[in-house]
Structure 1
Amino acid sequence: MPDLPPRVLSTPQADAWIARLGAMHGPLMFHQSGGCCDGSVPMCYPRGEFKVGGQDVLLGHIAGDVPVWIGAAQFEYWRHTQVTIDVAPGRGAGMSLETPEGVRFLAHSRLFSDAEATALAAAGEPPRGQS
């Protein structure tokens, strides 16, 4: 089986903010729900502060060991895309850890190529949280 493309990446700028927030708050995690507040922006939380359940899909890890989860309904829309977590100046309207720092995390996406999509489909579904 060919190497699988990562479902999630992060920019160097996002990695720098993740390291800064990790130094302040300890181990981190991201969740993207497509729900309230800023909608479908990735929200950064101290790991364990957000309860991941059976309806959450693990996209992968960024900035070393920071897991990125997405709600199952949102994943169905985004399963054909590679998500890149980035950071931009400006305050978001959510409960994400970076909000008081004057920056906000955001997600960019690109469609997987046909070959990448085929390889991911052959690998099976990504892991889900525990019910």
Structure 2
Amino acid sequence: MFELDVRSRKPIYEQLTDKIKEMILYSILQPDEQLPSVRTLSAQLTVNPNTIQKAYRELEREGYIYSRAGKGSFVSPAQQGMNAAKRAEVREELLRLMAEAVYLGFTAAEIGELFKLALEKKGEGDQT
């Protein structure tokens, strides 16, 4: 379910939070779906439970998940509305970057190729 790159300079808890966010944004994890327990995920990834707990705390702080005492952590249903806000934010950033790319001389074909590469990369992520 989760793969971490132990050679990455990015901290493990950040890798985990990014992966869970990605799975929520791509609807791999559904609203109110229970996440693996800290102990289970810790054993599965051979990572210190405190690292998993830190990732879950960060996700909860950002509103991606919520926890119930004695029950575990779950995907927040409020994410559906947040997805629209996130899409608008990404759209604005893409427009800014594309304008900069055009200014620097990128052609429509080059920008199209970059889009195709992004789709291929997304396809690779779907296989994990």
TM-score tier after normalising by the smaller chain length: under 0.3
Q: Choose 1 or 2 for highest CA Rg.
A: 2
- The structure where helix makes up a greater share of residues is 2
- The structure where strand makes up a greater share of residues is 1
Q: TM-score under structure 1 normalisation?
A: 0.27
Q: Which gives a bigger RCO, structure 1 or 2 (Cα 8 Å, sep 6+)?
A: 1
